[in-house]
Amino acid sequence: MKGNEYPSVMADFIVVKALENGVSVIGLTRGEETRFSHSEKLDAGEVWISQFTEFTSAVKIRGKAEILTAHGMIKSGKDDEES
């Protein structure tokens, strides 16, 4: 990047709300090889907002969480009944 230029920003982003302690949010890179770029651990009630950019193409979420997107809300993790 030159000077005050920022990477181009895509419109898509997600909001992750942890429903339990230890929820993992893992960012994955774009390019010829997909690689882990960032990892974050959330505790119950914490919120993470992630934006897709020219460098981030995917996000993996492990644990019980609510994920809000432009397409709606989905829950990750096992339901209590699936134990």
Q: For position 58, what pLDDT does the model report?
A: 84
User: What Rg, from alpha-carbon coordinates, does the chain have?
Assistant: 14
Residue 20 CA neighbour count, 13 Å, CB half: 13
Full-model pTM: 0.75
Q: Can you read off the two tokens belonging to residue 81?
A: 């009944």
In angstroms, the CA 82 to CA 23 distance is 18
Domains located in the chain, CATH noted: 9-76 (2.60.40.50)
Asked whether residue 4 carries a pLDDT value surpassing 80, the answer given is: no
pLDDT at 75: 96
Closest to 26 measured CA to CA, from 35, 18, 17, 54: 35
pLDDT for the residue 1: 45
Dump pLDDT digits (tens) for 15-68.
999 999 999 999 888 778 778 788 999 999 999 998 877 777 788 999 999 999
As given in the structure block, the two tokens for residue 53 are 């950019």
